[in-house]
Amino acid sequence: MRFAPRHILLFMAALSISSCTMTAERSLASVTLPLSGNDPLEDFVPAHNAVRARHRLPSLKWSPQLASYAQQWANQLRKRNNCRMKHRPGKGRFAQQYGENLLWVGPTRWSDGRSALYRMTPQMITDIWANEKRDYRYRSNSCKRGKICGHYTQVVWRDTREVGCAKAVCRDKSQLWVCNYDPPGNYRGERPY
C-alpha cells in the first residue's frame, strides 16, 4: 500500500550570479503530482516559449551545448552534494557562465519503505517557475516581500535566445532539474521585458 502524499516539497533557488536582481532563496510549493513518465528534455522549449509569447518575446531555441552544461552540474550535485540544490559558483572548475534555474522534487514514499519517482514534465517544471509571475512587480522590478520571482524573470528575459536543461535522479528517487540560459538574465537594474 502506498501512502498518498499530502504534498510534495519543491525547493527552488533563484538565479544567484553577482548581477542578479533577486537574491538566491529557497521556497516551498505544494502540489500533487502523478507517478512515472519520461518526456524529452527538448519539451522545455515549447513550454518556455508559451510563457514568453504572452509578452511577445522572441522564441527560445534548444541548445545541446547548454543541455550538456546543465547535465554536468546536475550530475555534480547528485554525486558530490548529496542531491542538495546549489547554484554553480562564480569561480573555479564549475564556474557559472549562463543563467540558471534549479528545481528539486522529492520522491513518493511507499508504506513498505520503497521510493518512486514522481512524473515531472518540462511543462510542469516551467509552469512552476512561470507561476512566480504573481510575485513579480514590474513597476518596481522586484519580487513581493518574502517571495521569489527570479525563475520567472529568467524564463522571460528578453535577451535570452537559447535554453538547455537536464535531470539527475538521486538514490532516494528525488530529482534535480537544471536549466541554463544564454544570454543570461536577471541583471540588476534591468527589467526582463
Strands annotated E in 41-110: 61-62, 99-105, 108-109
Per the listing, cell 507517478 goes with 35
State how beta strands 136-137 and 142-143 pair.
antiparallel
Burial of 20 (0-12, 13-18, 19+ CB in 10 A): buried
**What are the 10-residue block averages of pLDDT along the chain, 193 residues in total?**
34 32 30 50 98 98 98 95 88 90 93 90 98 98 97 98 97 95 96 97
The Cα-based distances of 191 to 18, 24, 49, 76 in angstroms read 16, 18, 18, 32
CA distance 143 to 134: 9
pTM, to two decimals:
0.79
Question: What pLDDT score does 38 carry?
Answer: 63
Q: Kindly report, residue by residue over 95-137, the tens digit of the pLDDT.
A: 899 999 999 999 988 899 888 899 999 999 999 999 999 999 9
Angle at 28 between CA 11 and CA 121, to 5 degrees: 55
Q: What are phi and psi of 7, to 5 degrees?
A: -165, 165
